[in-house]
Amino acid sequence: MPDESLGRLVVVGQGYVGLPVAIRAVEVGFEVVGFDLDKDRVELLGRASTFVDDVSDAQIALALSSGRYVATCDQKELAGFDVAVICVPTPLRDGAPDVGCIEEAGRMISGHLAAGCCVVLESTTYPGTTEDVLIPILEAGSGLRAGRDFHVGYSPERIDPSNRTWRFHNTPKIVSGVDDESLRVVREFYDSLVSRTFAVPGTREAELAKLLENTFRHVNIALINELALYTHGLGVDVWSVIDAAATKPFGFMRFEPGPGVGGHCLPIDPSYLSWQVKRSLGQAFRFVDLANAVNDHMPEHVVARAAKCLNARRKAVNGSRILLVGLAYKSNSGDARNSPAVAVARLLDKLGARLYAIDPLVDSTAVPTYVEMVGCEREQLDGADLVIVLTDHDVINWDLVAQRSDCVLDTRNRLRSGNAERL
C-alpha cells in the first residue's frame, strides 16, 4: 500500500460498480469511504466478506487492514471529501429511467460539498442526467456553482463481471466534465486508477456512449437469437453457421445465441436510449424495440423447446423432473440479476415442472423458492427427465453432465454429446 494518501474519496453505492472503484482507489493510495444505505451489505464488507465477483475477500481484508477503507451507512462520514463518485442503481419504472437514487445521492453529497471538490456520476443513465438532474441538486444543497466552485463529470462504468482479462484497472475509461477544468480534474482522478482514459467533449456524449455500447451488444445478440429460431425450423445448425462466419477476418464480430439476456445492463440500458428518443424526438428507436422483443421472448422459446424434448419421450412438462444447469445470467459469475435462466425456471414452474438446479456460484438468496439447489452429482443427472444447460460455468463437471444425462437441451453449445439437443 502507498505511504501517502492521494486524498479522501467517497464512493456512494458499494455494489457491483461502486465496490471495485472503492477497492482500486484504496490500492493506489486514496482514503476511501464506501457509503451504502444497505446495512447488511455494510456489515458484510466490515467482515471482509464479498458479494461481488470482481472483488475478493482478501482484497477487502487488505483494504480494511490498511486503514484507508471504511464501509458505512453514516452520512456524517461523507464529510471532507476531495472526490465523490456516485455508483447507484437506475432501474426502469414503467419503461422510464428512475433516477431517484441519483437524486438522493446528490442531496446527501451536496451538504458536504466544498470549493475545489469533484463529483463524478458513474450510474448508467440517459443523456442530460448529469447536467439537468444532478448539478441543480448539488448547487441547491451547497450554495456553490458547478464549474466555478466545484468540478463535475460523468464516467460510465464498464464492469464485466467475471471477466478475467478486462478488469477495472486495465479497461479504458471514458471521462468527461461540464467544463475544461472539470474534465482535467476528472481525468486526473481516473488516470490514477486505470491504465487509459479517453476524453469526450461533454457529459452528454459520455452518457450516450455507454448506452451505445450496450445497445450494440443487445441488438447483435437479438440478431443471432432470431437467427437461431429460424435455423432450427430450417434444420440448419446455427452454431456451425456462426463458426463459419467467424472465420472472416474483417467486417464480422462473433455473437452467440442463448436463453435471453440478463445482468444489470442489457435488459435495461438500451431502453434508456429508446425512452430518450421517444421523449425528445417523438419517434421510436426501432432497433431497440425489436431487440427487446426478440431477447425477451427467448425464455419462452427455451421452454417450448423443452416441452418438445419431453413430448418426444412421451412426457409432459407437468410433473417432470427438470434439472437446470446454471442460474446466473452469464458464465463464471454468481450474478443472477435479471437472469434469463431464472425466467426459464419461472415459466417451467407455472407449467408444473419439478425444478432442480446446479449452480455453485449463485447465492441461495437469489434462487426462487420453487427451485431446489443440488450438486452436480450422478444421482441428480440420472434422475432428471430433462437437463437444460442455461449457464456454462467452467466449474461444472461437464464430462459428467454429458455422460449421465439421458435427455439434454443445451442453450449454450457447451456439450457435444449425441443426446444433447442444441438451441
Active site (catalytic) residues: 265
Q: How far apart are alpha carbons 253 and 257 in whole angstroms? A: 13
| End-to-end alpha carbon distance in the chain | 49
Alpha helices by DSSP H, listed for 152-285, are: 180-191, 203-234, 238-245, 269-281
Q: How far apart are alpha carbons 203 and 177 in whole angstroms? A: 6
CA-wise closest residue to 309 among 419, 414, 227, 182: 419
Question: Three cell numbers at 271?
Answer: 431502453
Q: How far apart are alpha carbons 420 and 89 in whole angstroms? A: 39
Asked whether the beta carbons of 334 and 341 are under 8 A apart, the reply is: no
The β-bridge partners of 358 are 325
Question: Three cell numbers at 398?
Answer: 461437464
In which element (H, E) is residue 12 found?
strand 8-12
Alpha helices by DSSP H, listed for 285-390, are: 286-311, 340-350, 378-382
In which element (H, E) is residue 35 found?
strand 31-35
The β-bridge partners of 388 are 324, 409
Q: How far is CA 180 from CA 53, 157, 189, 199, 201, in A?
A: 36, 21, 14, 11, 9
Phi, psi of 225, rounded to the nearest 5 degrees: -65, -45
